[in-house]
Structure 1
Amino acid sequence: MLSFWSVLSGRTLYVALFSLTVLIGLGGLVGNGLLLWLLGFRVKRSPFSVYILHLAGADFLFLGCQIVFAVLTFTRGSQPFYAVVLFLWFTAGLGLLVVLSLEQCLTVLFSTWSHRRPQHTSACACALAWALSLPLVLVPSSACGLLTGGGSWLTCFQYHAVGTVCLFLLFSVLCVSGLILLVRVQCCSQSGPPFYYFSLQMVPLFFFCGLPFLVYWALINTMTFIVTFFSNFLFVVEFLACVNSTTKALVYFCDAGHRRDLRRAWARGGKSRFSEALEMTA
């Protein structure tokens, strides 16, 4: 009887988390998709908007894959490469948050940085974040057999340990840069632009909602017995990761300064940047 109720409660929790994950993921897809359209075609590009545009793209890909994989897992069962694809977009989002926070730290610490920075710094930093996410995820996954099957445990441990250390170093850099922004902007009574406060809000959001998914990835290949013991851990961390990706767009839209800029872009009406580009090429 006890085992029956434990199975029933586990199934109930799984169904509840599955439903919440799909609902929140759909909301996040709408929010990030709207953000991609507005920043991509309606708003004039700025160094900050380039970061947010790429970050919305990473979150959109993560949420889209999460919904599809959640439905496939619910109906057909899980596959190893599901976690690889999800964590690839998750890592890209983490890298984009890091480069965004680092640039804000440079702007706060060195007042001349915003005037002397190279023109395409934001685009190059985003491209670097996307490029580095590939080896950090795909190389350990291949060594551990998540993509090809098989693989030596020792080789898996070595590659996975290096990748995990690099990822936690990125998380540490995000925390330190967030702390620097907090001290300089809040404690020193400096009134910064709205995107300073966006960066500050992303650090605690990632700590509570994104870090569990990072911990799960650190355990999935080398300590599978722990993950198996906590069988519902995966459902919880995927749900929290969806909350992390969805809330970023919500925080951006709720900020008064960003909302005012978007309203101005919408009120301008007329031709969007996309239609203007089409006419220029015609």
Structure 2
Amino acid sequence: MLRLLCKISASYSVIMDELDSIYDYGDVLEEIVSHTKNKSHVDLHPQHCREAACVITVIFNVIIFLLGITGNGAVIWITGFKMKKSVNTTWYLSLALSDFIFCATLPFTIDYIVKKSWIFGLFMCKFTAFVMTLNMYSSIFILVIISVDRCITVKFPVWAQNQRTVQKASLVVVLAWFVSSLLSIPHAKFRDITNATTVKCYNNYEGHHKTVVFIRLTFGFLIPFLTIFICYSILICTLRANQMSKFTKPYKIMTLLIAAFFICWLPFQIVSVLEVDRHEQEHDHVFHTALQVSALLACANSFLNPFLYAIMAKDSTKKCYSFLSKIESTIDEET
């Protein structure tokens, strides 16, 4: 009888060993560690996303990813392959490409939020930060370029008709992307990962935090905002003086795009300035929440533009029954 019990026990041990190799016992191990008398604060496994705020953040990022890839992909297809090449389609194609590239990197961020551990290495840690900053700079620079282009077109129509070409517009876009890339390099340079059990992808500014924030605020917000404000002031005065109210709808669309950008990025810029003195607010949960919300709002800007095009489509309820046709209708009206 004793031998039989021993055999059953041995068989049971073999079965449990097999189960151990199949199932993830991370949660069980954490439970055991928390009840032991060992006072070490090192976690054997990272805590997965369970808090309500974390789950909501993940859901919103997934929505941004899906809508951003779909919407911007549609704009890229329409402006890049379906419509005739023009100066305006060049602007909108560049905007869509910027947002599409950023949205394509969101799965890495979503995985990091869920697992609370960065598993993609140092290069991808730097690359994702670079892409987000590149998206910010390239988007606002293109909006500035469009504003200046609109201003010149209205103020000097004859000159604009002779000088505005697709080749020159493409060259301007390439220059904008080049400058955006240069300004995004510091954000990749100071990105680093920890070598602890739970790997973190974080900003290691090495004493250059204020400089990085100042450059981003100046070139990514203040100067573009001032330039766009001046251009729109000139536009409004010119349109009113020439009684060109029937041509103002394209400018309403641009106003929506610019307003959406500044509404989405302004909180992030403000929180970034406050983050310079973060050593005084390390345990401030309100500040931490503001940081998460502002970053999420900034990311949301990457999927908004295609839907703004669809909303502003001419006679969209009567003539355009699909999302793609609405986007094409709006961009065609711009042209």
Q: Which residue of 2 aligns with 1:98?
A: 144
* Structure 1 counterpart of 2:247, from 171, 192, 195: 192
1:128-207 aligned at under 5 Å gives the runs: 128-139=175-186, 141-142=188-189, 145-146=190-191, 152-153=206-207, 155-158=208-211, 160-167=213-220, 168-185=222-239, 189-190=243-244, 191-192=246-247, 194-207=249-262
TM, length-normalised to structure 1: 0.75
1:47-126 alignment, distance < 5 Å: 47-77=87-117, 81=126, 82-119=128-165, 120-126=167-173
Q: Name the CA distance, whole Å, in 2 between partners of 1:227 and 1:85.
A: 28
1:51 is displaced (CA, Å) by 0.2
2:58–2:113 contact (8 Å) kept in structure 1: no
- 2:288 matched to which residue of 1? 231
Equivalent-residue separation in structure 1 for 2:327 and 2:135 (angstroms): 29
What's the RMSD between the two structures over aligned residues?
3.3
Amino acid at match of 2:149: E
Tell me, yes or no, if the aligned pair for 1:140 and 1:163 is still in contact at 8 Å: no
Letter in 2 for 1:97: L
Q: Kindly indicate whether residue 71 of structure 2 is the aligned counterpart of residue 31 of structure 1.
A: yes
Offset at residue 258 of structure 1 (A)? 10
Structure 2 counterpart of 1:255: 312
Q: Report the Cα distance in structure 2 between the residues aligned to 1:226 and 1:87, rounded to whole angstroms.
A: 26
Judge conservation of contact 2:313–2:327 (CA < 8 Å) in 1: no
Q: Shift of the alpha carbon at 1:118?
A: 4.4
Equivalent position amino acid for 1:94 in 2: I
Name the amino acid aligned to 1:239.
Answer: L
In 1, distance between residues paired with 2:327 and 2:110? 36
Q: Which has the higher contact order (CA 8 A, sep 6+)?
A: 1
Determine which structure has the larger helix proportion and give its number: 1
Larger radius of gyration: 2
Paired residues of 1:14 and 1:232 also in contact (CA < 8 A): no
CA distance in 2, matches of 1:44, 1:247: 24
What code does the residue aligned with 2:309 have?
Y
Whether contact under 8 Å (1:88, 1:137) holds in the other structure is yes
Count of residues paired in the alignment: 253
- Return 5+ residue gaps in structure 1 as ranges: 1-9, 267-282
Q: 5 Å matches for 1:11-22?
A: 11-22=51-62
1:127 matched residue in structure 2: 174
Structure 1 residues 224-281: Cα deviation after superposition (integer angstroms, max 9, x where no partner): 3377431122321232123322111111123334977974999xxxxxxxxxxxxxxx
Alignment partner of 1:213 is 2:268: yes
SS of the counterpart of 1:63? helix
1:100 and 1:258 map into 2 onto residues whose CA distance is: 24
Q: CA shift at 1:99, angstroms?
A: 0.8
Q: 1:264 to 1:96 in 2, by over 3 A?
A: closer
Distance of aligned partners of 1:161 and 1:241 in 2 relative to their CA distance in 1, 3 Å threshold: closer
The answer (yes or no) to whether the contact 1:88–1:134 under 8 Å persists in 2 is yes
Structure 2: tracts of 5 or more residues without a match: 1-49, 194-202, 329-335
